[in-house]
Amino acid sequence: MLGELLIPLYQNLFGYDLLIILAAAGNFMYLLFIIAHTKKVYNVIYTQGYQPDDFNERQVARPTRDQLKQTKAKLRKMREVSNKYYTMFVSISSIFPLLGILGTVVSLIPMVQSVDGMEQNFFFALTSTLWGIVFSVLFKVLDGTLAPRIEHNDQGISEYLEKLERELVELI
C-alpha cells in the first residue's frame, strides 16, 4: 500500500512538482545566506565592533570622522542586504501554497477532457498540493526562528548607528 502511494509522488517528481522542489531549493539557499549574513552582522555589532562609549576604558584611539562615516555606511549596507534577502525568503515562502494549488489545477484540467486516466491525474494533482503544503510549513517554521534574529540585528544596527552619530557630533 505504501508503494502505491509513493508511485504517483515519484512519477510526478519530474513534472510540475519539480518546479516546487526547485523553488524550495532556491529558498533554502536564501535561508543559508541569511543565516550566515545574520551571524556576520551580529559579530560586527556585538563582538568585533567598537563601542563609541568605551574608548577610555579600552584605551583605544578614537576613530577619525572618515572612519566613523565608513562604519556607518558599512552598517547601513549590511542592514540593506539583510532586509533584502529576508524579504525575498519570506516572499518565496509565501508562494508555496499557491504553487501547490496551481499544480492541482494544472493536473485536474485534463480530467475534463477524458475520463480515462482520471485516477492518475487526480494523484498528480494531490502531489503538487502535498509539496506546496510541506514546503510552506517547513519555511514558515524556519521563518519563525529567523525573524527574531533579523529584528535583533536591525535593532542593534540602529543603536550602533545612533552611537556613531553621537560620536560624529562630538568630533565637530
Kindly state whether residue 120 falls inside one of the protein's structural domains: yes
In a domain, 88, yes or no: yes
Is 13 inside any structural domain? no
* Residue 16 maps to a domain: no
Q: Is residue 8 part of a domain?
A: no
The verdict on residue 92 lying in a domain is yes
Residue 148 to residues 21, 82, 86, 153, Cα–Cα distance (Å)? 27, 13, 12, 8
Residue 38 lies in a domain: yes
Number of domains into which the chain is organized: 1
Whether residue 156 is contained in a domain is answered as yes
What average pLDDT is seen over the chain?
A: 81
If one counts every other C-beta atom within 10 angstroms of the C-beta of residue 73, the result is 10
Q: What residue ranges of the chain have pLDDT lower than 70?
A: 1-5, 7-9, 48-61, 110-121, 172
Structural domain of 101:
25-171
